[in-house]
Structure formats: structure tokens, C-alpha cells
Amino acid sequence: MQLATSIPAMQRLAKKWRRAGVRIALVPTMGFLHAGHLSLVQAARKRVGAAGQVVLSIYVNPTQFGPHEDFSRYPRDLQRDLQLCRVAGVDLVFAPGDAEMYPGKSAGDYSTFVIEENISQGMEGAARPTHFRGVTTVVAKLFNLVRPDVAVFGQKDFQQAAVLQRMTRDLNFPVQFVIAPTLREADGLAMSSRNKYLNPEQRAQAVILYHALQAVRAAVKKPVVAARLKADLKQFFTAAPLARLDYVEFFDPATLAPVKQVRRGTHMALAVFFGNTRLIDNVRL
């Protein structure tokens, strides 16, 4: 397995592979890898085969964190990540630094961003106003640097995947966009690097996100008014005193537009705080 920590090194390899007709798959991550990320690596390998190159990027992207969010304390452990990547069969880890990814930023003159203006507005976009601008910008940069044929993202960040898929289409990136299923812990909690922040009591209660999704899934055998479900869910969350519901939304998975009537096929997403830790999850009902 190779490691590229500079942009010129990454660009040289991408150029060499493309010249040789080698297919490239990219798995963008912010590191502190878990089994969910490794399942994205398997999905990437499946798309490019043994002769292809699977690139996993590790970059804690500052522009997608708000000023009071967890950028500085986001968990980082490159040596552990490299070991996991070796075992998972990654060909190249690309781990660039801030000075190269955002040239001019320390001098205050980095000024180019990629903005999706429609489906990034609600839910995560409403709760974290500059978040998707950072995500689309860094992923567009990674696409430019790695030049992948395939890129793999996780369904756990459903809105992120939808926004990035729209960006890929709108900006004509020649990238096959793959969304891989969410991996869950034994009790149903979606795997996330941020689960590490939870203390044992919070971790025990965090499974309420999954229980909420399952409870609504069971309730929508016939159409139900969204406002009614939202009110019931607020009540449901009082069972976990360490949890604070940030939002719950019901929407059309194709347009991300909120719906008034929830039925089978409607998508549900929610965000919940445990102390300062914010977890998200979603399901197609």
C-alpha cells in the first residue's frame, strides 16, 4: 500500500494510472476509520476489480465545520487508519495537509467554493449553514486531484450523498457515483467516527435513533400526517433524558422536499444531540 501526503505525488500517480488505462476508485473519508468505511472500500474494489486502484483519502476538512463545531477535537489517528487500510486492501491512502488543500487560506485569500443551491438547504444544511459548501468544495477538489472513475459514499449521510451526486451530475464529473448501505453496531446504532465521543451512558441511549426509525417504519403501514409523527417523536425522545432531538424530517428521497403525508417510500432523517455530540441517521420507510 502506498501513502501520498502531497498533492503533486497524488497527481503524478493519478496521471500514470490514467495513461495506463487503470480504473481508479475513490473513497473520501475524514479518517478515524471504522467497519463502515471499510465496507465502502469493499464496494470500491468491486467496481474497479483487482487490476484497479482503490484510493482512500483521509482529510479532516476544516471548511465543512462551523465555528463552534468539533473540528479541533475530531478524532485523528493516521497510523491506526493506515493499518486498517492495509488489511482492507486499499492501494493508496491520500492524506494531504491544509496548506496544500486550501492554498492561501492562512493569508486569508482562499476564495473559491463549490455550492449546491437546492437540496443542500434543508435538514443538515439548515442546522449547519456552511457545512455543505465545505463538503462539495473538498470533494470537487478530491475529484480533480484523484481523477476517479468511481467514488463511493455512505448512505448514513443521506443528504450529503444526494448533494454530492447532484454536484457530480451538474459539474459533469465523469465519475460513477456509488452509495453504499449504512453499517450498524449490534444494537442498531449507525457506525460513525463521532460515536467515540459518547460516554457509556450516552452510548447506551444513542440506540434511540435506530429505535425511532424502526418505530416510524412500523407506524407507516398506511399514510400518516408528518406533523403528527413529529409530535409523537418529540414525546418518544423523552424516554432518553440524555438525548436532545435536533430535527426530524420526512421527505421525498428523489427531491429531498419535505412531505406532509408520510407513506411507504418516504425517507426519514433525524439528528440528535448527546451533550455536544451530534449523531444523524436515516431510513427509507
Query: Is 138 among the residues that bind ligand PAF (CB under 6 A)?
Result: yes
Single out the segment in contact with ligand PAF by CB under 6 A; choices: 27-35, 69-77, 120-128, 217-225: 27-35
Angle between helices 35-48 and 78-88 (to 10 degrees): 40
Classified as helix, coil or strand, 33 is coil
Eight-state DSSP code of residue 159:
H
d(CA 219, CA 53) in angstroms, rounded, equals 44
> 24: closest CA among 49, 56, 41, 48?
48
| C-beta closer to ligand PAF: residue 146 or 285 | 146
Angle between helices 7-19 and 131-146 (to 10 degrees): 50
d(CA 176, CA 149) in angstroms, rounded, equals 6
Query: Is 64 among the residues that bind ligand PAF (CB under 6 A)?
Result: yes
Query: Is 124 among the residues that bind ligand PAF (CB under 6 A)?
Result: no
Query: Is 159 among the residues that bind ligand PAF (CB under 6 A)?
Result: no
Query: Is 266 among the residues that bind ligand PAF (CB under 6 A)?
Result: no
Element (H, E) at 137: helix 131-146
Query: Is 165 among the residues that bind ligand PAF (CB under 6 A)?
Result: no
Among all chains, which residue has been given the C-alpha cell 467515540? 196
| C-beta closer to ligand PAF: residue 61 or 277 | 61
| C-beta closer to ligand PAF: residue 28 or 148 | 28
Of positions 10, 17, 29, 243, contacts ligand PAF by CB under 6 A: 29
Active-site residue 68, yes or no?
no
Q: Please report, as ranges, the residues that interact with ligand PAF according to CB under 6 A.
A: 28-30, 61, 64, 135, 138-139, 157, 160
Residues serving a catalytic function are: 37
